[in-house]
Chain A
Amino acid sequence: MALLEATDLHTYYGHIHALKGISLHVEEGEIVTLIGANGAGKTTTLKSISGLLHPRRGTITLAGRRIDQMPPHEIVGLGIGQAPEGRRIFPRMTVQENLEMGAFARRDGSIKADMERVLTLFPRLKERTNQLGGTLSGGEQQMLAIGRALMARPRVLLLDEPSMGLAPMLVELIFRTIVEINQQGTTILLVEQNALMALNVARRGYVLETGTIVLHDTAANLQQNEMVQKAYLGIE
């Protein structure tokens, strides 16, 4: 049984039919990537999983349990963490407070240790624990968004375009950290427009176009796929 499984999702914004029957699954321990052009429905898929949007049709299960009609705060408690598109960190809270908010759903005592773990993963945040989130650079905000999501100790981490707007060196750093987080045991569903980097770190990938999945294969096969090369990797 897959850890996370979505079957035939149809999600709407009012009358706009944004997802037209998306099915995907993520196995325990995997990095799976969802690639596609701007407006394909990647963010809508993640928001449907995290409960910010509710699909009108279809089901989502986490470890066999239906979550598709649950409110987002309950879904976090069951083990889905998210670093949303645009980072969405709390601008008037310090780095430390932002990380503490990430652990909001937890009641156990090991939050300090996880804070240490996150600050070891992102040493740049460690130097800035008392700085307000709104004053961080884009790259630092992205690190904080990922770190904040990790503070919930998610079973599945949803990452929405973590490389967006970052300088190439920072993109490298973020992707290396994503692999490290995965090796430490967190399953990852990675949404990216940067298909090149995403397919390098992922095991499998889905290609999304206008609300439907047009391709699903191993990352290695997708890298060799002619259509993917043309449309997403810039190879003629």
Chain B
Amino acid sequence: MQVTPELLIQVLLIGITNGAIIALVALGYTLVYGIVELINFAHGDVFMLGTMLSLTMVTWVPSLMGLRGAWLMPTPLLMALVLGTLILAMVFCGLLNVAIERFAYRRLRNAPRLAPLITAIGVSFILVNVGLHWKGASPVNFPDLLPNVNLLAGVLGLNTTVTFTLKDLLVILITVPLIVGLQLFVQRTRLGKAMRATAQDREAAQIMGIDINLTIALTFLLGGALAGAAGLAFGLYNNIAWFFQGFRNGLYAFTAAVMGGIGNVTGAALGGFVIGLLAAFSDFFFDPRWTQAVVFAVLILILVFRPTGLLGEKQAERA
């Protein structure tokens, strides 16, 4: 394969867009781990259900209007549909995550760590089966919502073979503001500070007047909402919804969170982009069939040589 600068840029764009989706999911792992020290194995499947719900919305609403597909809707209505689906997926996955914490994890909060971990795997099985019954065993097409317009050559008139479509832009517009917004929320707001305090010392947080049940629920709400947004973005970007998608993508996102130092919010976001780029480069220059192996080899290398993550030196103070 001829490696041209244009190809490199193309792969870079794909990596960044996919990376943004992975980053959103990774944030959910890291937020939850930071506050309750649980690797929430069900998180990838919450994300999967976000894609499923989004798929239902973008096919069902046009059919109510008697249209064959969302792309036939007038632009303002289409925009409203995308926005509405985004909000619905975020609310649904956020509340689902809160319910999981409330009914499956909360009573195990002081149990040995293995108990909630195994519970999380059990919850994951339940959600996977919900997905299986909802949309069937085979991957389902997630329809294109926007016309296939290449912004670089078509709209900006650039003389390049690199494509960056309206759809790619939409995915970036959904993911990046949420990633940045979460950083600001955690650093700047009162509730964000309550989350950080609870993560650093739960008992001390309580005697500051922080309601830790509420704070932990809020953390699951945020993590779930980001997974919901990622679910929509994933469907839009890859044109696919599959009941088992949460497994692979969840592991990618988990790798990203570990790479950033699990519990570290900025680290998880950066880790998402790194994994996205790594996967894209492996797909193009190596072999897509090997990409999973490459990503998990990276996970193992990090766990062996740098278990606190590339940014995670602060973890050492945890004890």
Contacts and interface: CB of A to CB of B under 8 A. Distances in A.
B207 A72 contact: yes
B211 A88 contact: no
A82 interface: yes
B203 interface: yes
Interface stretch (A93-101, A109-117, A217-225): A93-101
A73 B210 contact: yes
25 contacts: A52-B207, A71-B206, A72-B207, A73-B208, A73-B209, A73-B210, A73-B211, A76-B208, A81-B207, A84-B207, A88-B201, A90-B196, A90-B197, A90-B200, A90-B201, A91-B200, A91-B201, A92-B196, A92-B317, A101-B197, A101-B208, A104-B197, A104-B209, A105-B209, A152-B209
Interface in A43-75: 50-52, 71-73
A149 B196 CA distance: 18
Contact of B211 (A71, A90, A102, A134): A71
**Tier of interface size on chain B:** 20 to 34
B109 interface: no
Contacts of A88: 201, 203-204
Q: Which of A71, A89, A92 has the most CB of B within 10 A?
A: A92
A29 interface: no
**Leading 7 A-B pairs by shortest Cβ distance:** A105-B209, A76-B209, A88-B204, A72-B206, A134-B317, A91-B317, A90-B200
Contacts of B113: none
Interface in B3-55: none
A99 to B, nearest CB: 11
Interface string B174-218: 000000000000000010011011001101111111111000000
B314 interface: yes
A84 B210 contact: no
A77 B208 CA distance: 9
A104 B210 contact: yes
B206 A52 contact: yes
Contacts of A82: 207
B66 to A, nearest CB: 53
Contacts of A52: 203, 206-207
Nearest to B196: A93
A50 B206 CA distance: 9
A93 B197 contact: yes
Given A51-B206, A91-B318, A101-B205, 7 more contacts: A71-B206, A73-B209, A89-B204, A93-B197, A101-B208, A148-B208, A152-B209
A178 B271 CA distance: 47
Interface residues of A, number: 27
A73 B197 contact: no
B107 to A, nearest CB: 16
Contact of A73 (B193, B200, B206): B206
Contacts of A81: 207
B200 A93 contact: yes
A50 B194 CA distance: 19
B204 A84 contact: yes
A152 B200 CA distance: 19
Contacts of B314: 92
Contacts of B194: 104
B279 to A, nearest CB: 31
B200 A92 contact: yes
A78 B197 CA distance: 21
Nearest to B213: A71
Contacts of B197: 90, 93, 101, 104
Interface string B67-105: 000000000000000000000000000000000000000
A64 B318 CA distance: 39
B211 A104 contact: no
Interface in A97-154: 97, 100-102, 104-105, 134, 148-149, 152
Nearest to B200: A90
A85 B203 CA distance: 11
Contacts of B204: 84, 88-90
Contacts of B205: 101
A105 B211 CA distance: 10
Nearest to A151: B208
Given A84-B204, A89-B204, A90-B201, A77 B209 contact: yes
Nearest to A145: B204
